[in-house]
Structure 1
């Protein structure tokens, strides 16, 4: 028996690693919207100036801001309704299809108007972003429940690494000859745009290339990223349409109930939501304007694209490192340090840029290293505080703050660049917002939160979690908790084998926690 358990453990570990790799590839692809919109914005602005000479690089910041405002709403709907309704895999597939459609439709809208491009490239990409991200983060964790931080760090690192791959790739497609942008007469003397016909004609075509690349990478990632299941035993399936409908309804109600009775009644939910808001507002500002700012300091497009690639590498490394650190250090100790460093970096970036381009690049890289760590630490902290089964609902609610984050980016973009061409007010504002995250992250507690609506039995019992399962799966027996872990496992196996019960892992409730790693070698999963 011990040998069999060891073989199962080795297989699960290998399959889990493949699942993590698949999630990493998925998030590399999904991160291309946020990670490269700053790189694409000057190209889009240059192309659209053929039809509207008043469009500037800074105006393209609305694409990210408007898209991001819908992202928060999409996050809440995805976590609270769609994922409990469709499940992780089907939700992931729907998000992927919509995301790949975005550049295809943008091929037609880029020559129409800025508002049309904002919808097709900004809104369509961002609204389904968390429909891709949440399953991609939660599925691999099911294989490694004791290493949530590390898994979150590795998978979210794919999001950070995206710009390291796609920024140079986009520049290679659009501007392979490194044709320099030029200053336009009548515009700000430091604002540069691409006017060469060879560059401009490649900009819409690049969207078709990107759509094909996205589809190929998503396909590989989707095949690899699967949830933990057991290959032994029989699988219970709810076959009737009425039963499936009742089960879906039960899942949504259960998820909403947990969010209402536990998530929304705990202060840590709101503190984490504000922390996400503040840090993402800073990150959104960096994403939207890093290339526009860089082009004011240098006209070498390929060098700047390489700088953008390094942005992604550092963001990737930071997320992995943060995932490791969050498993060792408390959230309310780690994140305030990150916030303080980020505040200082933002405050001095513009003054340093006036003295040294290389100094600006160093601070830009450090800002990228710090600004996106929260994508690893906040989900990991949520999984530490709340019931893992309902994490998507809590994360979905926290994701609502993303709408306000990108709304703030849009407001800053309008207020600052309507009155001045300087980036100094913009960066000082982001520095103040970053400092507020120092205060909020210090207030987050580290004690797991109990479900206020749950009750636990003193007897280890196999039972169901919803009315529909109760009708189809009967309790099959009791196990004495005085037995050792392996003895309990063997006893449960005998009960299933002897009674021939078709059951599922969801039907296991109140089994002692140390037995969970062995549960799927005993009772099959659907």
Structure 2
């Protein structure tokens, strides 16, 4: 006997969450970066690598994440979400595993495996679970996308402590500086450096195991029998009764656009630029929160836990903001996100005076605020341009994060010495303020005349 429609849809969501949990280890870069940089400085090349330069690993992964997401949407239409998800996951896991070898060679080799390959794999595997789940629950796009990308945000909660326990089980603190880089601390302890390459083998095996299981659960809705169609109609009416009594999603009815038409609209570019500005914070804090914390907190385990708790906020925030977008609108919810993010970034530098507790709360607050971007923009894309091409359309939308990774890394490398931590944080706050203004101009309506 086949499972009810709702139960099958929930399994698809669960599979998507499991896959995104492994893909979301993208956010562990801020935790693992000190180990990577310290190892390369001591045992590989270049010996003068610093944390700002290492941001290019994250930037490369983020950039190709954006590029490959469009490709993933195209592949999904050809071979289906399950195989596409597994293909992307395999690239991620293989790249991570190969980093065991490349970290012993040079920083530039790590760029290929932990940056390029990781990013392409994440991009290919990211959208198919989202698109499939939204097809099962079309009137709950915000909540469904929030749940799945919540798995992406939750990845660091699971894997930050695993990485730290594996590489630094004695909770040693970084203990060496560079005369040319006095603001940063690095590890030179043999026990930490010896374990660093082996961490990537362990992570690659665990990731791929999760991806195999999750991808098997990701399926598009089947062609319905008469009974299933009736069940489906009842479900949609129940979910969307405040908006419609018909089994369609009123919010995207009649506005289906392919990528070619979409990029010629003002709405696309308003959303794209908002995404670009609002994810500058994500690039900076995801990669450098630990490097900043090390300047006044001498506890590596605590800093790893900060990353873990902030990832919980990253995950729960995606669900929360997705729910608010369903309950109120994309526009109202995004205005709140921009305002909250601006506040936390303007005041983040104060944590070096207030100590560990404020640092934990503020980093969690930053992750809570920027997490909403990754729940709201898939929803806004689907509502504005329709469901049919959501994988490809959101792939193009996501290229904004590619540009934010490049510009964020460039600005951090170019300006860190001259404007310091405070200047970098204020710059991110200004970007979020600009996103707030752009959101005020966004004016896409539902057929009923409401903001999407």
TM-score band, normalised by the shorter chain? Answer: 0.7 to 0.9
Deviations 1:483-524 (A, max 9, x none): xxxxxxxxxxxxxxxxxxxxxxxxxxxxxxxxxxxxxxxxxx
Give distance in 1, aligned partners of 2:216 and 2:270.
36
Match of 1:316 in 2: 315
Give distance in 2, aligned partners of 1:170 and 1:352.
25
- Aligned-residue CA RMSD in angstroms? 2.0
Match of 1:370 in 2: 369
Give distance in 1, aligned partners of 2:279 and 2:173.
32
| Secondary structure of residue in 2 paired with 1:142 | helix
**Gaps in structure 2 of 5+ consecutive residues:** 227-255, 448-452
Q: 1:36 aligns with which of 28, 35, 45?
A: 28
Structure scoring higher RCO (CA < 8 A, sep ≥ 6) equals 2
Match of 2:425 in 1: 427
The Cα of 1:176 is off from its aligned counterpart by 1.0
Match of 1:283 in 2: 282
Deviations 1:472-491 (A, max 9, x none): xxxxxxxxxxxxxxxxxxxx
TM-score normalised per structure 2: 0.87
Checking the alignment, whether the CA contact within 8 Å between 1:279 and 1:372 is kept in structure 2 is no
Checking the alignment, whether the CA contact within 8 Å between 2:278 and 2:432 is kept in structure 1 is yes
Match of 1:503 in 2: none
Match of 1:159 in 2: 152
Give distance in 2, aligned partners of 1:217 and 1:93.
10
Checking the alignment, whether the CA contact within 8 Å between 1:74 and 1:127 is kept in structure 2 is yes
Deviations 1:451-492 (A, max 9, x none): xxxxxxxxxxxxxxxxxxxxxxxxxxxxxxxxxxxxxxxxxx
1:1-400 equivalent positions in 2, closer than 5 A: 11-33=4-26, 35-50=27-42, 51=44, 52-79=46-73, 81-184=74-177, 186=179, 188-230=181-223, 258-261=258-261, 263-400=262-399
Give distance in 1, aligned partners of 2:371 and 2:216.
27
The Cα of 1:67 is off from its aligned counterpart by 2.3
Give distance in 1, aligned partners of 2:257 and 2:59.
32
Give distance in 1, aligned partners of 2:19 and 2:178.
43
Checking the alignment, whether the CA contact within 8 Å between 1:67 and 1:119 is kept in structure 2 is no
**Gaps in structure 1 of 5+ consecutive residues:** 1-6, 234-255, 450-526
The Cα of 1:279 is off from its aligned counterpart by 1.6
Give distance in 2, aligned partners of 1:19 and 1:291.
35
Give distance in 1, aligned partners of 2:209 and 2:157.
18
Give distance in 2, aligned partners of 1:429 and 1:108.
37
The Cα of 1:388 is off from its aligned counterpart by 0.9
The Cα of 1:438 is off from its aligned counterpart by 0.4
Deviations 1:414-440 (A, max 9, x none): 2123x3482112111111111111012
| Secondary structure of residue in 2 paired with 1:447 | coil
| Secondary structure of residue in 1 paired with 2:304 | helix
| Cα distance change of structure 1 residues 421 and 39 upon mapping to structure 2, 3 Å threshold | farther
| Secondary structure of residue in 1 paired with 2:170 | coil
Give distance in 2, aligned partners of 1:164 and 1:158.
10
Give distance in 2, aligned partners of 1:377 and 1:268.
14
The Cα of 1:57 is off from its aligned counterpart by 2.5
Checking the alignment, whether the CA contact within 8 Å between 1:332 and 1:443 is kept in structure 2 is no
Give distance in 2, aligned partners of 1:231 and 1:367.
43
| Cα distance change of structure 1 residues 190 and 404 upon mapping to structure 2, 3 Å threshold | closer
Give distance in 1, aligned partners of 2:62 and 2:369.
20
| Cα distance change of structure 1 residues 352 and 295 upon mapping to structure 2, 3 Å threshold | closer
The answer to which of 347-356 and 376-385 deviates more is: 347-356
Checking the alignment, whether the CA contact within 8 Å between 2:132 and 2:218 is kept in structure 1 is yes
| Secondary structure of residue in 2 paired with 1:104 | helix
| Secondary structure of residue in 2 paired with 1:296 | coil
The Cα of 1:232 is off from its aligned counterpart by 5.0
| Secondary structure of residue in 1 paired with 2:47 | coil
| Cα distance change of structure 1 residues 199 and 445 upon mapping to structure 2, 3 Å threshold | same
Give distance in 2, aligned partners of 1:257 and 1:85.
19
| Secondary structure of residue in 2 paired with 1:422 | helix
Give distance in 1, aligned partners of 2:295 and 2:418.
15
Checking the alignment, whether the CA contact within 8 Å between 2:21 and 2:153 is kept in structure 1 is yes
The Cα of 1:188 is off from its aligned counterpart by 4.5
| Count of aligned pairs between the two proteins | 416
TM-score normalised per structure 1: 0.75
| Cα distance change of structure 1 residues 326 and 310 upon mapping to structure 2, 3 Å threshold | same
Is residue 2:434 matched to residue 1:442? no
The Cα of 1:185 is off from its aligned counterpart by 5.9
The Cα of 1:401 is off from its aligned counterpart by 1.5
Give distance in 1, aligned partners of 2:334 and 2:209.
36
